[in-house]
Amino acid sequence: MKAVLVLAVCAAAVALGQVQLRPQAQSAAPAADPIVVSTAHPRLFLRPARLRLLRRERERTSLRWEQFETLMAGGAAMPEPGFAGALYYQVAGDKPAGRKAIAWALGPDADLRQMALVYDWCQDLLSDAERQNFAARLSRRMTDSAADAGMAAARSRALAAVALFDDFPDTPPRELERLIHQWWDGKIAPALKDGRHIVSRDDAYALYELLHAIQDNVKLDLRESNPRFFKEYPIEHLLSYYPAAYQAPENDYFIGAESKPGEPDLRLAALSRAAELAMVAYDANAAETQVLQGWLMHDKYLMRSAFGTPYEFLWANPYQPGLSYYHVPLVFYAPEFGRLFIRSDWEDSAEWFGHFDGVMQSFGDGRVTAIDPQRPPSQMDLTEAVICFGKTSGKFQVNLEEAQPVFIVGLDPKRVYQVEVDDEEMAEFAADPTGILELDDVPSGKPVGVRIK
pLDDT score, position 23: 39
Q: Over the stretch 60-91, which tens digit does the pLDDT of each residue have?
A: 999 999 999 999 999 999 999 999 999 999 99
Tell me, what's the pLDDT at 377? 87
User: Does residue 93 surpass a pLDDT of 60?
Assistant: yes
CA 324 to chain CA centroid, nearest Å: 19
Q: What percent of the chain has a predicted confidence (pLDDT) above 90?
A: 85
Nearest of 186, 173, 159, 13 to residue 86 by alpha carbon: 159
| Helix boundaries (H) for 60-94 | 63-73, 81-92
Stated pTM of the model: 0.91
pLDDT at position 1 over 70: no
High-pLDDT (> 70) share of the chain, %: 93
447-452 and 331-334 beta bridge pairing: unpaired
> What is the rounded average pLDDT for all residues in the chain?
92
Element (DSSP H or E) covering residue 428: strand 427-430
The arithmetic mean of pLDDT across residues 248-276, rounded, is 95
Mind listing the domains of the chain with CATH numbers?
Answer: 6-326 (1.50.10.100), 332-452 (2.60.40)
Please give the order of strands across the beta sheet that includes 437-439: 379-381, 386-389, 406-409, 437-439
Q: Contact 311/303 with Cβ under 8 angstroms?
A: yes
Residue 9 in this model has a pLDDT that exceeds 70 = no
The helix (H) or strand (E) run that includes residue 249 is none
Q: Which of 7-21, 63-77, 111-125, 155-169 shows the lowest mean pLDDT across its residues?
A: 7-21
Residue type at 390?
A: G
Average pLDDT of the residues in 243-258: 96
Q: Which of 368, 333, 367, 363 lies closest to 351 in space, CA to CA?
A: 363
| Whether the predicted pLDDT of 20 surpasses 80 | no
Q: What is the mean pLDDT of residues 273-297?
A: 96
Please state, in angstroms and rounded to a whole number, the distance separating the CA atoms of residues 139 and 159.
Answer: 11
Which pLDDT tens digit goes with each residue over 287-308? 999 999 999 998 889 999 999 9
Q: In a 3-state reduction of DSSP, which class is residue 342?
A: strand
HSE-CB of 15 using CA atoms within 13 angstroms: 2
User: What is the average pLDDT across 367-372?
Assistant: 94
Region label for 13, one of left (φ > 0), alpha (ψ between -120 and 50) or beta (otherwise): beta
In the predicted structure, residue 353 carries a pLDDT above the cut 80: yes
For residue 389, list its beta bridge partners.
409
Can you tell me the mean pLDDT for 208-233?
97
Instruction: Examine the pLDDT at 2 and tell me if it is beyond 80.
Output: no
